[in-house]
A and B are shown apart, each in its own frame.
Chain A
């Protein structure tokens, strides 16, 4: 209801009325208003409107300290039970300072929106700052406005900060001159999305947030623990200094080594005072199924010749370079690209040639490969994709790793009369939004080169085709997460294209059979990977195996070793609070 009064950071002692155990203040501007109107003989208000105003106040009156009011004010929204529970807990048990750490796709934004709405309705909050990654600013603004009727604005110009409820990117906010301006303000509520970026207490983000003056504070993150418990400690200390004691206390009480907690029950108890983590597969939240179709394809003779040519070339170069991995990255890329499209190989190859000195012997070798590319006239995968799209006759998102493949597919689909749009990391915010809108409306196909990590929600589509696969399981999960999320009403069908007798076949085997990642709905992949990668990046390990394997047999056994250690980690279960056991 109408904001009559905003308590601000206390500067000095308020004089208290002797009768009450609580400081009492009367606002008296009305008296001057009445006196001046008596002097001037008016103007006087309308009695009917006056009664209406009182009825309005009456209907919005917060009559109880401990009942959620906001649902009365939200007509178009029906939050899930765990979201309402969360809002309730944040308000009445955590007094408005909390880490919302639900797993991806459970609606943290909705929870934060509910909490914010409740405080606004109660008139406890009017000045709000919401800091999010740049790519999410507009989405937050839109959701707050349409779902919650909260007039939030995106920060665009310096004067935008003057608005009551501002959504801005962290990177902008922490820089001067914005920083100075924000630090001189006091915020009734601060919300930070993707708060795991605050885990390092020396970072500018951390110091900035620490300095902001705030009453209530919500930190949103899906991965409260990424590397070690110290980061969790930092996050909580930012929210409520001292909640877990000093760094030293914390270390002696709860930490064995940086990834291994002790006194887990007690730690969980402490965490539950400041952090709420809802998990998939718990409670009444039902996700639809993921159906995986692996589509084996046989390369045409020309494509096979190209693949073999590139593979042989890559191996040779690796041996020549004496097994130096870092200089070989672009060569591995070459081998991955050859499984995607000839266009992708072509671009990389040409770029490599340009970098070579004119008299390099490699040059001829590579020109030879270019000649081979020329013989390839068809793309087996593209043809199959076309066939799949025709069969399903519904909206579908096609993911590829390579821009050149994306371009090729766009042209190929258009020639065959499909309405399609592209989506890639290099596009600016506006264009990304526009592409999403087009896909939602007119286009049947979206060809995307990145899952965008944050912020694209495509619940209206439930088919996805992995034209080629990233070698990093986290990125595969991000792709799936775009369509398989809260609000998806259909089972999600995932098509994986893989060409027989190529590296792709092995990678798919690893991802699907060994870590069962396509069907794994219970989250925690991130934690598994973190622990695996203690020994070094998964992608690098894969590269090494691929380059060093002399035969198919060796390749398989190398990948199997990796697969086995990953699946072991998968079976080592995770506990409830997001702290790895």
Chain B
């Protein structure tokens, strides 16, 4: 679970890394014009981008207001809107219905002067943005729900609440994964290497952030960021700590040289997997034993039940029951059988200054 502040940090990191244009930003929200790169990943407009590619026109990217703490944001907006609303209330009749034009005009002008307030005034009656839209459109009536389409055109800024668990945040993480999965990085030597004559030796590391999924009918997960030196074969379990405080750059810095590989990439991977396996062997496997017990119990119930049914004398019926029995046994193993699956979240080569 992330707090709104932490969510904001994640989103801001993404927007900055993808070179989006921040138009307005506060601790509670950010208004941003997406970069073409981020727009492709986030707005789900393959046809538009196909069109841009084929015709070569300048792309018009979308803008959003991401709100990280909707409750506080709305409170502030309501406060800001309050002074604008008062003159209307004072006239004690619907705005525009015979109110002196000067008065109504003044109220509008005031509201317009307060962009935040003006944008939020209708929002008070309706639930904010996204949740109101799906119920209203004809398509939504047919499909139950349609993804809220971005309102296109310059100056259209759609508000979206981005909290932990929201689709947008999941999407941002998944976009980050797509673009940040495979790495080749060099430690930035800073000014040091410029002033010395000697080329610095860099050690290549193969690093992988493994996700370990321990599954039965339930599940537990672990992350392991480990690396192996491709020169010495040394394994570093917490590679993140090793990287702490180092500047990394995708470009080969001046005046350095990378030591020759003693290990191939595949050898490195084998060693990492061997290391991780031995580490996993030290864990407590009560969960798996318990799962197997549950599995055994469930299977015995199935066996007893079908043993009776399989006494069916009619061959055709018996075969049908047998098939059902096997299916049910398979399903049960599928549900309970404990297993561990390991996959890589991110991976790559890190070239660090030898020590």
Contacts and interface: CB of A to CB of B under 8 A. Distances in A.
Nearest to A119: B219
Given A75-B163, A140-B144, A48 B13 contact: yes
Contacts of B218: 65-66, 91-92, 95, 122, 124
Contacts, number: 286
A56 B341 CA distance: 19
Given A27-B344, A51-B180, A10 B330 contact: yes
Interface stretch (A209-217, A275-283, A318-326, A471-479): A209-217
B181 A50 contact: yes
B219 A124 contact: yes
Given A24-B342, A30-B182, A240-B298, 5 more contacts: A26-B273, A75-B166, A96-B217, A142-B134, A241-B306
A358 interface: no
17 contacts: A2-B173, A19-B277, A23-B340, A24-B280, A27-B343, A27-B344, A28-B269, A34-B349, A45-B182, A46-B250, A50-B346, A57-B173, A73-B165, A76-B131, A142-B135, A156-B142, A241-B301
A149 B165 contact: yes
Contacts of A351: none
B204 to A, nearest CB: 11
Contact of B339 (A24, A28, A216, A433): A24
A142 B145 contact: yes
Interface of B: 1-2, 6, 10, 13-14, 16-18, 131, 134-136, 140-145, 161, 163-167, 170, 172-177, 179-185, 208-209, 211, 213-215, 217-223, 225, 248, 250, 265-266, 269, 273, 277-278, 280-281, 285, 287-289, 294, 298, 301-302, 304-306, 308-309, 324, 327-328, 330-331, 333-349
A159 interface: no
B220 A25 contact: no
A9 B330 contact: yes
B335 A58 contact: no
Contacts of A213: 327, 330-331
Contact of A154 (B131, B144, B174, B341): B144
Interface in A30-55: 30-31, 33-35, 37-38, 42, 44-55
Given A48-B13, A145-B134, A242-B306, A54 B182 contact: no
A153 interface: yes
B278 A156 contact: no
A154 B10 contact: no
Contact of A246 (B209, B225, B250, B308): B308
Given A22-B338, A54-B345, A214-B331, A17 B277 contact: yes
Interface string A427-441: 000100110010000
A14 B308 CA distance: 31
B347 to A, nearest CB: 5
A388 to B, nearest CB: 28
A393 interface: no
